């Protein structure tokens, strides 16, 4: 198949309730794929119903926390029972965590960010990969960040977790290749700043930098966010979703172990 509209795949998206994860689930549903949304927030069931209604493909919502192996196992079992299999895994669930200078934060907060963003990605991959290995086919797409390629002021746990997600992705790609499993690829997407609640929400990115610098939210947006990109803009979640759909396609079968920036021209490596 040589286009990126490949129907009847089943896609599991973690953190699928809102923001980038929701856009990814909707984009796959529009290609005809069945989608499963896993999220810590119980409204994920309604989100799945909305997608099913608008796109016409099957959509299942599972409430689960990516820090709980037990909840992940239950969710993966439910998705397999209801949708038959998982062809594409998008590890997207993530948090920014409380912003603090690296020498001044709470270790518990630091560990929580690592637990959700990094270990959560590892846990869900571990639960889903055996069926991809058995089928010798699949796609793992991990949502890292440009903070996975450069430091992120006041956010060492986030930046460390996103760097580590890239390391995990590259290692997985090597391991799959070592076993001759060329039908399974593993890649990371590194978005720049995307217009989602993680950025604008109360206590999130803009508020966090504002608390550190004493600047207004508007000044933070201009000086610390927009000025960092050649295109001087925030990205739409759909732009990240487009890359995920492409990486899941047959056309992208030769792309593995990569960390691809979708960042309006912010980072050049
Ligand atoms: N928004 C950005 O600018 C940006 C930039 C680069 C990377 N990212 C990454 O993209 C991903 C999605 O970000 P977003 O902006 O859409 O965030 P968001 O806060 O809008 O959505 C994140 C989703 O993950 C869910 N979630 C959080 N903790 C969870 C847990 N423990 N278990 C299961 N689900 C959980 C939330 O309920 C939410 O639905 C994250 O990994 C984030 O780090 C975002």
pLDDT digits (tens, 9 = 90+) for 167-206: 999 999 999 999 999 999 999 999 999 999 888 888 888 9
pLDDT score, position 262: 98
pLDDT attached to residue 2:
45
| pLDDT (average), residues 28-50 | 98
For residue 221, being part of any structural domain is answered with no
Q: How many domains does the chain have?
A: 1
Task: Give the mean pLDDT of the chain.
Answer: 95
Q: What are phi and psi of 64, to 5 degrees?
A: -160, 150
- Residue keyed to tokens 């909305």: 50
- C-alpha 48/C-alpha 59 separation (Å) is 5
Residue 188: strand pairing partners:
142, 259
Question: For residue 6, what pLDDT is reported?
Answer: 56
Report the alpha-carbon distance of residue 96 to residue 138 in Å, rounded: 29
* Catalytic hit among 51, 158, 166, 186: 158
Domain assignment present for residue 170? The answer is yes
Q: Has residue 173 been placed in a domain?
A: yes
In the residue annotation, 122 being an active-site residue is answered as: no
pTM, 2 dp = 0.96
Residue in 42, 149, 198 to alter for ligand 1 test, most ligand atoms within 8 A of Cβ: 198
**Where in the sequence is the domain holding 134, given as residue range(s)?**
10-193+236-262
Q: Which CATH number fits the domain that encloses residue 254?
A: 3.40.50.720
Average the pLDDT over 82-105 and give the result: 95
Q: What are phi and psi of 85, to 5 degrees?
A: -170, 175
Ranking 18-22, 30-34, 152-156, 251-255 by mean pLDDT, the lowest is 152-156
Q: In the chain, helix, strand, coil percent, each to 5?
A: 50, 15, 35
Alpha carbon of 2 to ligand 1 centroid (Å): 31
Asked whether residue 207 is assigned to any structural domain, the reply reads no
Measured between alpha carbons, how far is 185 from 13 in angstroms, rounded to an integer? 16
Distance 141 CA to ligand 1 centre (A): 14
pLDDT at 3 over 70: no
On whether residue 215 sits in a domain, the answer given is: no
Cα–Cα dist 235/116, whole Å: 23
Q: pLDDT tens for residues 56-76?
A: 999 999 999 999 999 999 999
Q: Which atom of ligand 1 is nearest to the CA of 67?
A: 31
Q: Is residue 54 part of a domain?
A: yes
Q: Does residue 162 lie in a domain region?
A: yes
Q: Distance between CA atoms of 143 and 194, rounded to whole angstroms?
A: 12
Give pLDDT tens digits for 126-165: 999 999 999 999 999 999 999 999 999 999 999 999 999 9
Distance, CA of 204 to CA of 2 (rounded, Å): 41
Angle at 16 between CA 173 and CA 237, to 5 degrees: 85
């Amino acid at each position: 198949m040589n286009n990126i509209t490949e129907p009847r795949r089943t896609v599991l998206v973690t953190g699928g309730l809102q923001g980038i994860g929701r856009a990814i689930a909707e984009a796959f549903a529009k290609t005809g794929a069945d989608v499963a949304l896993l999220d810590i927030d119980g409204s994920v069931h309604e989100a799945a119903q909305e997608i099913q209604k608008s796109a016409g493909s099957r959509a299942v919502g599972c409430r689960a926390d990516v820090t709980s192996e037990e909840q992940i196992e239950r969710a993966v079992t439910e998705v397999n029972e209801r949708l038959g299999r998982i062809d594409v895994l998008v590890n997207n669930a993530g948090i920014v965590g409380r912003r603090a200078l690296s020498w001044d934060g709470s270790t518990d907060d630091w560990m929580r960010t690592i637990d959700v963003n990094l270990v959560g990605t590892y846990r869900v991959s571990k639960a889903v990969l055996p069926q991809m290995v058995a089928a010798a086919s699949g796609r793992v797409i991990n949502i890292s960040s440009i903070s996975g390629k450069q430091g992120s002021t006041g956010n060492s746990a986030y930046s460390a977790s996103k760097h580590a997600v890239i390391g995990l992705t590259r290692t997985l790609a090597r391991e799959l290749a070592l076993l001759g499993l060329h039908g399974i690829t593993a890649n990371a997407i590194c978005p720049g700043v995307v217009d989602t609640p993680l950025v604008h929400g109360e206590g999130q990115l803009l508020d966090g930098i504002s608390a550190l610098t004493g600047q207004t939210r508007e000044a933070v947006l201009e000086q610390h966010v927009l000025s960092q990109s050649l295109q001087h803009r925030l990205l739409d979640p759909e732009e990240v979703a487009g890359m995920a759909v492409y990486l899941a396609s047959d056309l992208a079968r030769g792309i593995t172990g990569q960390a691809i920036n979708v960042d309006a021209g912010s980072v050049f490596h």
